[in-house]
């Protein structure tokens, strides 16, 4: 159930230049024309020029041709990103041809390194793309045919895209190194006081001027009792509205998310060791006794101090030759009805029917952190209350019936925080590293421009 390769399905189905591979790998970008020759090659012929044939060689990459047909086929499938428009045709032809040139050089490099995609991996990728689009393979091929692309050309492009991603992973991963000093520097910078933000709520027990020691002690005890009630689970905002002497009591005492430099040092010190949701020890100021609850805590550029973990289980059916997707959905709907009626237990049905490694454990996937599952699964999971059953969900892995068992708030450990920073720094370096590698690869290739694409 971990996140898996999406295989640039959007690119293959729509041809969008904005489509990006999954796993946060940098997507190939449109490379600007390398010379005036390239720009001239993309300029439509003037009326005085003789018309060119529908298919002709527009460029050579290490003696391997790129044809006008290839450029136009890719162009025909381009869709602008949401809210954007495609560039003028002449500029777009240049971008498409340059992308094809770079892809061709990459595929040649993959062949030189002995990289290959076997038929089994290709078939699995095709099934994954079909599932991502809520289709089976036959329906996917029918949709492709309706758009003018046959199954063989789709599979060829899919195989090439898989090769390109495998090559990118090998080349980029080998070039990126994140040392411990880099992680330390990032943490030191982001954990500096001026970058931290907190959101506190306060309940004030005011101490009148001139109050004697006995009166002050009584007010302190009252504040301690209110703090104890808050720690025991009482609604803090309701306590504030009932008992606070502060002017902000109508807002439940919430002071707002702000930098710690904008809070009294007394409040910051009291909340420093708290996790969101916890109540601090009572503190005394010139105004009186304060009961403080930490609502939120953030450091610039760092994840939250706590994460929500979900314990979830599922029943997975994998459509295939013996079971269509529609039949899998129907079977899981019937199981859902039986579980809801109390005539069957979720874990028993999972052991009997689930086609996943979790079946032996009654479908239990354990405690999951955000980002652990593929988006389509996680989105549905996050919308479920504990004990609630989902409707059958189609993902790239098959059809699921999901049940959330419980949720909890867990502090982010120092090790997890460092790993988060390591991954973030890798992502930041990946795009620059990719662009450098792509320029180097293209620079080593012999590129000859021929006739302009039409």
Domain boundaries, the chain: 9-177+432-449, 194-299, 307-411
Strand order in the sheet with 364-368: 364-368, 306-317, 398-411, 393-395
What are the tokens at 254? 């919430």
Q: Is the pLDDT of residue 14 over 90?
A: no
Domains 194-299 and 307-411 agree in fold: yes
Summarised one tens digit per residue, pLDDT across range 201-221 is 999 999 998 889 999 999 999
Q: Who contacts 442 (Cβ-Cβ below 8 Å, separation ≥6)? A: 31, 34, 101, 102, 105
Span 340-344, mean pLDDT? 94
pLDDT digits (tens, 9 = 90+) for 303-320: 767 788 999 999 999 987
Going by C-alpha positions, the residue among 262, 357, 378, 244 that lies closest to residue 312 is: 378
| Average confidence (pLDDT) over 35-43 | 32
Distance CA 402, CA 408 (A): 18
Would you state the pLDDT for residue 310? Answer: 94
Q: Does CATH number 3.40.50.1980 belong to domain 194-299?
A: no
Of 29 and 71, which is predicted with more confidence? 71
pLDDT tens digits for 268-288? 889 888 888 999 999 999 889
CATH fold of the domain at 307-411: Chitinase A; domain 3 (3.10.50)
Q: How far apart are CA 31 and CA 43, in angstroms?
A: 17
pLDDT at 44 over 50: no
Model confidence at 360, pLDDT cuts 50, 70, 90, reads very high
Q: What is the mean pLDDT of residues 276-301?
A: 88
Distance CA 426, CA 328 (A): 40
pTM summary value: 0.51
Mean per-residue pLDDT for 392-417? Answer: 89
Q: What is the pLDDT of residue 192?
A: 62
pLDDT band at 82 (very low <50, low <70, confident <90, very high): low
pLDDT band at 412 (very low <50, low <70, confident <90, very high): confident
Which pLDDT does position 1 carry in this prediction?
42
CATH top class, domain 9-177+432-449: mainly alpha
Cα of 302 vs its chain's centroid, Å: 16
**What mean pLDDT value characterizes the chain?**
82
pLDDT at residue 444, rounded to an integer: 93
């Amino acid at each position: 159930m971990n996140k898996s390769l999406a295989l640039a399905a959007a690119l293959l189905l729509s041809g969008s230049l904005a489509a990006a591979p999954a796993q946060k790998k940098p997507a190939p970008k449109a490379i600007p024309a390398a010379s005036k020759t390239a720009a001239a090659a993309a300029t439509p012929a003037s009326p005085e020029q003789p018309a060119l044939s529908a298919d002709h060689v527009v460029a050579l990459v290490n003696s391997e041709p790129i044809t006008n047909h290839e450029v136009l086929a890719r162009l025909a499938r381009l869709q602008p990103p949401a809210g954007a428009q495609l560039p003028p045709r002449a500029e777009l032809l240049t971008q498409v041809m340059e992308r094809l040139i770079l892809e061709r050089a990459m595929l040649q490099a993959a062949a030189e390194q002995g990289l290959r995609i076997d038929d089994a991996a290709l078939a699995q990728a095709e099934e994954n793309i079909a599932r991502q689009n809520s289709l089976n393979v036959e329906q996917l091929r029918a949709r492709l045919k309706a758009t003018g692309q046959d199954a063989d050309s789709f599979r060829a492009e899919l195989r090439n895209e898989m090769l390109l991603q495998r090559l990118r992973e090998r080349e980029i991963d080998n070039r990126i190194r994140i040392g411990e000093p880099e992680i330390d520097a990032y943490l030191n910078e982001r954990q500096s006081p001026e970058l931290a933000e907190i959101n506190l709520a306060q309940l004030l027990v005011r101490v009148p001027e001139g109050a004697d020691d006995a009166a002050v002690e009584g007010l302190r005890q009252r504040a301690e009792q209110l703090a104890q009630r808050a720690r025991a689970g009482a609604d803090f905002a309701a306590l504030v509205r009932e008992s606070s002497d502060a002017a902000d009591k109508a807002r439940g005492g919430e002071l707002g998310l702000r930098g710690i430099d904008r809070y009294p040092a007394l409040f910051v010190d009291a909340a420093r060791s708290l996790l969101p949701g916890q109540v601090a020890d009572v503190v005394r100021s010139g105004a009186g006794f304060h009961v403080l609850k930490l609502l939120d805590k953030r450091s610039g550029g760092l994840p939250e101090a706590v994460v929500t973990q979900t314990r979830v289980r599922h029943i997975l059916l994998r459509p295939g030759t013996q079971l269509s997707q529609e039949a899998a959905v129907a079977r899981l709907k019937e199981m859902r009805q039986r579980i809801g009626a109390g005539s069957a237990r979720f874990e028993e049905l999972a052991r009997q029917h689930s086609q996943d490694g979790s079946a032996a454990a009654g479908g239990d996937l354990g405690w999951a952190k955000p980002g652990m599952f593929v988006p389509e699964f996680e989105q549905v999971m996050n919308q479920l209350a504990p004990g609630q059953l989902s409707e059958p969900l189609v993902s790239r892995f098959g059809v699921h019936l999901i049940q959330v068992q419980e949720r909890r708030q867990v502090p982010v450990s120092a090790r997890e925080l460092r790993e988060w920073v390591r991954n973030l720094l890798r992502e930041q370096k990946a795009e620059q590293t990719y662009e450098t590698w792509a320029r180097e690869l293209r620079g080593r290739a012999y590129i000859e421009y021929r006739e302009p694409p039409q």
